Amino acid sequence: MRNNNFDFLRFILAFNVVISHLIGVTKIDIFQPFQPFFNAYTSVTCFFVISGFLIVASYIRSNSLKDYLKKRASRLLPAYLFVIICSALFLVFVSQLSFHDYFVNTEFARYLFANLSFLNFLQPSLPGVFTLNNTFSAVNGALWTLKIEVGFYLIIPLIVLLISKINKKYIVFILIYILSICHKIIFEYLSHEYSLNLSVFANQLPGFMSYFVSGIACYYYFNFFKAHNVKLLFIAILILLIERVIDVEIATPVSLSIIVFFIAFNFSRLNNFAKFGDISYGIYIYHLPLLQLAIHFELFKKYNPILVSILFIVTVLSVGMLSWHLLEKRYLKRGKNQQILK
């Protein structure tokens, strides 16, 4: 299991999110024909599948619950806290408010509280920041997935405990999967049929547990998957295409998990993709504030949008690389050193 292409996959998925937002948020006409080829939602759900596999493996290999939580915190928090605090402090320079009015505004405190609590949806904007941007004023809308990830991290010990108590482990997977699909369908139906703003509830942890649990199932039935991966791949692609055509999301989590793990455990030349840095997380959490800044300064209007887009992508990749080497990797090494000392 250690020889895999998850680093390559996560980079491609994160890069896909960046391009999807570049096309969708800027709304530049020449980019719109490419929008069908870049889907941020698909990338995010594939991330959840990968997390299901890797996080359950991390928990099982951990010496204790405390050890597991430390590892998760070391990977997630340093860059996350950095982007939240830096955004709150330095975006005052692009705010329409004065320094004094910005920092005493209740939105500033609410932004810090909501985002540091992984509740980005409660206060996604900062006072007077990006209010004239052509789409929305949210500083970093991509962070909505992080609260789902954290929720999954916290619930995984309970899921593993349930699995350990039952001989037929697939029963747990099927039950969680069905409940998750039902949760999403019910809230999406109520939101659509009765014009209620309930779609936010559909896109919470229960609604995405079908993806996480599909990844977990691939971990527990890894040998079965490896033995039948080609046959399963063709079935998965067929089901995925059918559901895309009829616009449903019932078997999609299983299908995506099979496709993801086929790529992850084949093509061995990609095994060492991240040997120069695991920058996918940094790409994901920094790209939207950088894109909002580019829109704020009207770079796409004043200059050639293609050249600006290339510069934006290079900047995002560079920031992701710097974040990995100067911040994220240091905390991961610190956690490993502490384990060795113990």
**Cβ count near 34 (within 10 Å):** 12
Q: Is residue 210 part of a domain?
A: yes
Residues 6+ apart with CB under 8 A from 177: 209, 210, 213, 214, 253, 254
Q: Using 50, 70 and 90 to split pLDDT, how confident is the model at 336? A: low
Task: Provide the percentage of residues in the chain whose pLDDT is more than 70.
Answer: 96
Cβ proximity of 188 and 227 under 8 Å = no
Going 213 to 218 to 224 to 225, the CA torsion angle's sign is positive
**18-34: per-residue pLDDT in tens?**
999 999 999 999 999 99
**pLDDT value for 92:** 97
**pLDDT value for 335:** 53
What total number of domains does the chain contain?
A: 1
The percent helix, strand, coil of the chain (3-state, each to 5) is: 80, 0, 20
Cβ proximity of 12 and 267 under 8 Å = no
Higher pLDDT, 176 or 1: 176
Q: Tokens 């350990």 belong to which residue?
A: 164
Higher pLDDT, 202 or 53: 53
**84-124: per-residue pLDDT in tens?**
999 999 999 999 999 999 999 999 999 999 999 999 989 99
pLDDT higher than threshold 50 for residue 341: no
**pLDDT value for 243:** 96
Q: Report in angstroms the alpha-carbon separations of 175 from 178, 198, 212, 327.
A: 5, 24, 13, 40
Region at 28 (left for phi over 0; alpha for psi -120 to 50; beta for the rest): beta
Task: Provide the percentage of residues in the chain whose pLDDT is more than 90.
Answer: 83
**302-332: per-residue pLDDT in tens?**
999 999 999 999 999 999 999 999 999 998 8
Q: Is residue 333 part of a domain?
A: yes
Which domain covers residue 131, as residue numbers? 6-341
Which DSSP category does 95 fall into?
-
pLDDT higher than threshold 70 for residue 1: no
Q: Is the pTM of this model over 0.85?
A: yes
**185-233: per-residue pLDDT in tens?**
998 888 877 766 777 788 889 999 999 999 999 999 999 999 999 999 9
pLDDT higher than threshold 80 for residue 337: no
CA nearest neighbour of 52 among 336, 328, 260: 260
Report d(CA 177, CA 219) in Å as an integer.
15
**Cβ count near 97 (within 10 Å):** 18
Going 120 to 122 to 124 to 125, the CA torsion angle's sign is negative
Q: Is residue 235 part of a domain?
A: yes
One-letter amino acid of 217:
A
**pLDDT value for 274:** 77
Q: Is residue 1 part of a domain?
A: no
